[in-house]
Structure 1
Amino acid sequence: MRWIVSPPSEIEAETEFNVTYELILDTTFYTWAFNNGYFDNSGSSGSGFADALTAQNWCENTACPAVTSADETNCCVHHVNAHSCPLAGLPNALCGPWIPPTGSVFTHSSVLVGPVQQGNWTSHIGGLYEEGLTALIAHFKVAGLHLALEIETKVLSKTDCGDGTCAAGEDCETCPKDCGSCPLKSWAIALIVTFLVIAVTAACIVFGYFRYQQRKLLWDESWIAKHDDIKEDDGLRGAFGSMISVNCSSKNDISGTNSMAMSATRKQVFAKTAIYKGRTVCVRKIKKKEFLLTSKIRKEVKATRELDQLNLCKFVAGCIDVPNVCILTEYCPKGSISDVLMNDEVPLNWAFRFSFASDIARGMNHLHDHKIIHGRLKSNNCVVDDRWTVKVTDYGLTEYRTKDRMMIDLDDDDDDNDDDYYKEMRTHVYRAPEFTGQSSYIPTQAGDVYAFAIILVEIATRNDPYGDEDVNDLPESWKPPVPDLNPEYGDKDNTCPCPSDYINVSSDVNFL
């Protein structure tokens, strides 16, 4: 007799398990059992066996009935099971040979019967309930003989996973609720580290690629135009370009008694055009004694080239050849909105006017979203393309477009100086009140919003922001009055459909 699958040395209470034990009977056993009278009452006829060989033949060849009917007269191995015996409190810690001296049975598995040649027997134990050292007994009844195979195991208290206590028998794998999560295994740590390395490497590659592209665009000089490549525009457009009509008084008129409307001549300032690489472009000349392509200018050009919005006039190229420094931008053939608004031959209903205002607002919003302050916003810097879309121009490139004061003083071209004078004179009205009296200031988004409000007044009145006022007689902080947009009878196209709302927009950002 021996254990094939013995119970564990320690087991938690109420835990099910199986045990397998072996019984092998040889000729020596039968001789011994027959001589000691254990086969006296066996045999189907009840007459006993003549010798040990007859008893062996009966054990090996007699088929057993059902468990409930099996006994020593009709089945050689007529009872096989396993039961337990707690040893605590027993005299000499002795249990048995197969049941406690008290006669109580603590664990009793189902009874099995079968031929003696079966050898291995397996019993299912539904659980041990008494904590402490317990004897587990495999019990056989062969003919009139009882055989027992004993082994001891320690029964541990039952653990309750989730009670907040990591008791004996619980660990991080069986009860992470009470004992906490198990530390990561080495292979898991290696896998995580490998993943992190791959992720960081990929992120560095992507970051490096975009940085390379940014640096590449920063040092890209394809935008630089040679002066010889900028061809003079032919015909009437080349002679006059995009016209900007300006009402102003002569700077030599010191009487101050005549209004601009009565005594001033109409001065025309033109945005020059040219042909560059087969396309018409607008030319912004810059007076510089010398030009140094610094990193700051490169960053300005890069930021401007990256802007791509319908309501922004695109930067085309720039010439850095002194004294022909200039900026080439997209050409809009219909001139500025000032030209359009003041041209009585162009019918403009309020749908067109709202469209103009919306186009300017979208363009400026895109600039501000990209942290670019215009600083020079006015109606002459809002040009109209051939589809009647308004585009904001003359933005960005602050360092690039800065003029050399010495070059301006030494310039003998009186016409250009006159143009600059009239442009500067018209600029004061677009300057926010906080900048009054400052010859130089840092532009702000609020300043751009103020200039937009002045343009809204121009759109509403279809007139120069100064109207009939003489610029020379006005204080620098002067601002145009809020226009009267009350409905006019008989002309719906010239009547603002929402006068109060329109006035509130312009006044909220400007006059209040």
Structure 2
Amino acid sequence: MREMRHENLNLYLGLFVDSGILALVVEHCPRGSLADLLADSDVRLDWMFKSSLLMDLIKGMKYLHLRGLTHSRLKSTNCLVDGRFVLKITDYGLPMILHFFKKKKYFFLDLLWTAPELLRNSEQAGSFAGDVFSFSIIIQEVISRTLPYAMMDMPPQEIVERLKKPPPLFRPLVSVDEAPAECLNLMNECWNEDPSKRPNFDEIFKQFRGISRGKKANIIDSMLRMLEQYSSNLEDLIRERTDELEVERTKTDKECV
């Protein structure tokens, strides 16, 4: 695990085990998870920036699958964003480690990224096609900037039960004007009920590269705009804190007099 090196994989530095405590030592990503970034309403994410994040995810998963390794726990909280806004996948390879420890109890919210066939077979840890399904749910999150199935307005347990027992087929609803039609078509292919009909990450990479081809300059522009916004927000915060300190200083001076 420590020898795996890719720009879009979060680096494993070591494993700590003592007195029943298991901890992974990993590379720190100051921007937090993809879920954190999507939930931050102060951060403007246009389609170019969203597509850049998705491409990072695709390249990281393609690398894992080419080496015969499934992720099995892929979700937006397991995708970290570093200081350069590069997405890095973490928690990969964990089933190999967790096999030697007590099986983790999953809550229904954790299962919203899980493929239907895996929900029906709790003994199967994961699969390549299962990772592709998880990726499709992350596409929905990135496009709509909402939690998985948020537009369905249902509790996670009910969503999981509907996924396990079609018909009717149960999937998130995404507006056609929120992303290019090619991206929406790819998302639909990736959450196909039949695992054998889902594309692999090599095919996904080729399709998605065609969607975003020739738009590198726009992605850079998007990053620059985001950095400008962060700078502006920081200036506002400093100004606000300075005003608060000035008010407190005035109060203190009056009390002293």
After TM superposition, is the score higher than 0.5? Answer: yes
Per residue, is there more helix in 1 or in 2?
2
Deviation at 1:305, TM superposition (A): 1.6
Q: How does 1:248-263 map to 2 (within 5 A)?
A: none
Deviations 1:120-170 (A, max 9, x none): xxxxxxxxxxxxxxxxxxxxxxxxxxxxxxxxxxxxxxxxxxxxxxxxxxx
| 1:429 maps to 2:131 | no
Structure with larger RCO (C-alpha < 8 A, sep 6+): 2
Deviation at 1:397, TM superposition (A): 4.0
Deviation at 1:475, TM superposition (A): 4.3
- Give the counterpart letter for 1:481 in structure 2: P
Per residue, is there more strand in 1 or in 2?
1
TM-score by length of 2: 0.66
Q: Identify which of 52, 67, 87 aligns with 1:390.
A: 87
Deviation at 1:335, TM superposition (A): 1.2
Deviation at 1:466, TM superposition (A): 2.6
- Give the counterpart letter for 1:469 in structure 2: M
Q: Identify which of 169, 181, 186 aligns with 1:505.
A: 186
Q: Identify which of 457, 460, 471 aligns with 2:156.
A: 471
Number of the residue aligned with 1:337: 34
- Give the counterpart letter for 2:24 in structure 1: I
Aligned partner of residue 129 in structure 2, secondary structure: helix
Give the number of the structure whose alpha-carbon radius of gyration is greater: 1
CA–CA distance in structure 1, aligned partners of residues 42 and 145 of structure 2:
12
- Give the counterpart letter for 1:445 in structure 2: F
Q: How does 1:4-403 map to 2 (within 5 A)?
A: 304-402=1-99
Moved over 6 A (4+): none
CA–CA distance in structure 1, aligned partners of residues 158 and 149 of structure 2:
11
CA–CA distance in structure 1, aligned partners of residues 98 and 125 of structure 2:
15
Deviation at 1:403, TM superposition (A): 6.5
Deviations 1:464-511 (A, max 9, x none): 01313222333424343240122xxxxxxxx53x2x111101001214
Structure 2: runs of 5 or more not aligned: 164-169, 194-257
Residues 428 and 476, structure 1, Cα contact 8 Å, conserved in 2 = no
TM-score by length of 1: 0.34
CA–CA distance in structure 1, aligned partners of residues 160 and 97 of structure 2:
32
- Give the counterpart letter for 1:320 in structure 2: V
CA–CA distance in structure 2, aligned partners of residues 428 and 324 of structure 1:
24
Aligned partner of residue 80 in structure 2, secondary structure: strand
Residues 312 and 363, structure 1, Cα contact 8 Å, conserved in 2 = yes
Residues 437 and 476, structure 1, Cα contact 8 Å, conserved in 2 = no
CA–CA distance in structure 2, aligned partners of residues 446 and 428 of structure 1:
16
Aligned residues: 185
Could you say if the C-alpha distance between residues 473 and 434 of structure 1 is closer, same or farther in structure 2, counting changes exceeding 3 Å? closer
